[in-house]
Copies of this chain bind each other. A is one copy, B any other.
Amino acid sequence: MTELRKRRDSDGKLLESAESDHIDSEDDKGKTATDLSKTIPTGTDKSPGILDWLVKGLPDRWRNWAVRFIFTMIMIIFFFLVIYGGPLALMVTTLVVQVKCFQEIINIGYAVYRIHGLPWFRSLSWYFLLTSNYFFYGESLVDYFGVVINRTESIRFLVSYHRFISFSLYCVGFVWFVLSLVKKYYMKQFSLFAWTHVALLIVVTQSYLILKNIFDGLIWFIVPVSMIICNDIMAYVFGFFFGKTPLIKLSPKKTWEGFIGGGFSTVIFGFGISYVMCQYPYFVCPIEYSETLEKMSMDCEPSTLFTLQEYHLPVWMKIFGFGATLHLYPFMFHSLSLSIFSSVIGPFGGFFASGFKRAFKIKDFGDVIPGHGGIMDRFDCQFLMATFVNVYISSFIQTESPQKLLSQVLYLKPEQQLQLFHMLKESLENRNILTANI
């Protein structure tokens, strides 16, 4: 079996980037080969039948543009529907997107390292995806439904031993991998093992963070996601109309004009969408399991972050027609941090992805979305953004609520709860916080 990959790089030089066990160069010399792109579904310009009919009248140049536009709209509508569907719909969508992204990344790995004959590899990577999802999704479900699940005796052990079960499952995969090692393929197997783990790191851990953000309130999910979308679209629009100065060699089509125009648009868009969303408890309330209602609830008294505050403006701003005071939601200032991140660092997620695609000489990660490529092509920046939002919340927004801590306290044994109670009482009394109330 000949396993040499050959392809031409952009300068037309013949590339050999083989991970090969038996090389038979003479046989291969004939093929000029772009066979990596044959094995990965790497973005197609074909569009489904009904679409063909819709864009039939258009000149060729505009046809792709129209397909892209139509599918952008379809995705945005889908996004609205999912939000309307509520947290559960969002979580399921996140899971589906995550699995799809994982599949796209893994497929590239398969093609790069040629898995023909590699024992067990497909099953193994899916197994690792399953176990890591079991671990991460479990962790967040335990956090939020722990008290409820604890009441159901039969699945209680799933909560108590969650980490142990996940780790055991992982160990099974690990041992399975070691046992599946075959001399001929050592290097490929280890490379794909690493590839799988990097994919898990990018896709699973970060989609877990998306989940956690959703639990802190839908606004922490919707605002960042739509900022990235807005920045993508507006950078494209500004680049299209004013683009002159190339931004980075990696993505020759990106321009400084698009980068800056997209950035400004995103900041303004962020202010606007925050102002609107802050008015609805549906968006700003953390998702908590209500023990009285016995179901998930998004009702709450919005925190100060989401209630209008009066801000006094400096006198000189009167010149510009501003009044003496301005009513804003404090969240809008946080939206500024988010929009700056999404328009300054966010694009680097895109550059990274396009560098990756160039490194492996593929056009797109997949071909599920006509005119756009793979799911991963649209979500490359979303993952980085989700991590930022998560870190931002834990650093700047007080999330440790008394409720959450109480549920942790209730995990303790009764006598320990009592002990904590007395320690807390003493501490509060010492600091004169409690005296007044007793």
Contact = CB atoms under 8 A, between A and B. Distances in A.
Interface string A197-227: 1100100000000000000000000000000
Interface stretch (A48-56, A278-286, A387-395): A387-395
Nearest to A431: B414
A93 interface: no
Interface stretch (A39-47, A62-70, A121-129, A186-194): A186-194
A162 B279 CA distance: 31
Q: What's the dominant secondary structure at chain A's contact region?
A: helix
Interface stretch (A263-271, A307-315, A322-330, A344-352): A344-352
Contacts of A10: 183
Contacts of A394: 163
A187 B23 contact: no
B186 A197 contact: no
A84 interface: no
Contact of A420 (B162, B405, B419): B405
B433 A418 contact: yes
Interface stretch (A14-22, A237-245, A366-374): A14-22
Interface residues of A, number: 87
A290 B161 CA distance: 31
B406 A400 contact: no
Contact of A164 (B201, B351, B395): B395
A402 B412 contact: yes
A249 interface: yes
Contacts of A333: none
Contacts of A179: 248
Contacts of A181: 250, 355
B21 A18 contact: no
Contacts of A348: 174-175, 178
A18 B20 CA distance: 8
Interface in A51-99: none
Contact of A201 (B195, B197, B409, B433): B197
A296 interface: no
A67 B402 CA distance: 60
A103 to B, nearest CB: 18
Interface in A392-438: 392, 394-396, 398, 400-403, 405-406, 408-414, 416-421, 423-425, 427-428, 431, 433-434, 437
Contacts of A253: none
A358 interface: yes
Nearest to A419: B402
A300 interface: no
A19 B181 CA distance: 22
B411 A187 contact: no
Contacts of A358: 183, 186
5 contacts: A16-B18, A163-B395, A178-B250, A409-B424, A418-B437
Given A16-B18, A163-B391, 8 more contacts: A18-B18, A160-B395, A398-B413, A400-B412, A402-B419, A406-B424, A410-B427, A424-B424
**CB-based closest 3 A-B pairs:** A186-B359, A164-B395, A402-B420
